[in-house]
Amino acid sequence: MLTLFQTTIAVAGPYYAFETSDLTGKCIVIILMAGSIITWTIMIEKGISLYKAKKASETFIEIFRKKKYPLATIKDTDRSISPVARVCENGVERLMEFYGISESQAPFYGTTQFPEKRLTTAEIEAVRTVLEREVSDQILVLEEKVGLLATAVSVSPFLGLFGTVWGIMLAFCSLAVQGRADIGALAPGVSGALLTTVVGLIVAIPSLVGYNVVTVTIRKITVYMDNFVEEFLAKIKLEQLNIEEK
């Protein structure tokens, strides 16, 4: 009895539905399965890289907040892989240009003192521009390949639905040719048609979950970078205030 049940499942399972599909249905299933492999690869790759970027950003922000002056973070930017560190690195480089100091002098100035040079409003705004431009560049890096996930989420159900409508249309056309309603003739075509919808949902549901997780993580890192720009500029303004007091 058990053997008969297992044989029935094997015959009437997804493989049977795939075998009874026409060429169009089989192509859609193959495309969807290939898309599933691609989306899972992207989700795993982006998930790991974004997790590391988020943790590294949090660590770097803690280090930055402990420093009194922005120039003191120049060595920390080299050791960090975070997007926030890249933003800081570009800001520090522009500061060094305005202060007229070299990279080897920057840690000394940032730790014990700051350059005795009054920055103009235009120079401070130039630093802001550099920081904000780097934030935009880092967002582009973070969002790389995310568009493919969004495409998979949007296209997979419709591609599966197309395969289902196509298969059912052919099944009813077959009945019309035979001139009689025969469940034995209708069932194979319908099962093959419904398989594309099932595969489409199998691709779309994990992709939707992965896309949401990835976008939320990117949004958090973006907020970190936006807030960091303001913190960086605040430290510069404090430096300038100290110069005025002297």
- Provide the residue type at 17 as one letter: A
In a domain, 10, yes or no: no
Average pLDDT over residues 121-140: 92
pLDDT tens digits, residue range 66-88?
Answer: 887 787 787 888 888 899 999 99
2 in a structural domain: no
**Residue 215 — very low, low, confident or very high, per pLDDT cuts 50/70/90?**
very high
In a domain, residue 14? The reply is: no
Query: Does any domain span residue 12?
Result: no
Is the pLDDT score of 188 beyond 70? no
In the Cβ-directed half-sphere of 124, how many Cα atoms lie within 13 Å? 15
Is residue 132 in a domain? yes
Residue 118 lies in a domain: yes
Domain count across the chain: 1
pLDDT of residue 202 exceeding 70: yes
Task: Give me the mean pLDDT over the 188-195 stretch.
Answer: 76
Burial-class residue 240 by CB neighbours within 10 Å (0-12, 13-18, 19+). Answer: middle
The answer to whether position 101 is within a domain reads yes
Q: Is residue 130 part of a domain?
A: yes
**Which residue range is the domain that position 164 belongs to?**
22-245
Per-residue pLDDT band at 11 (split at 50, 70, 90): low
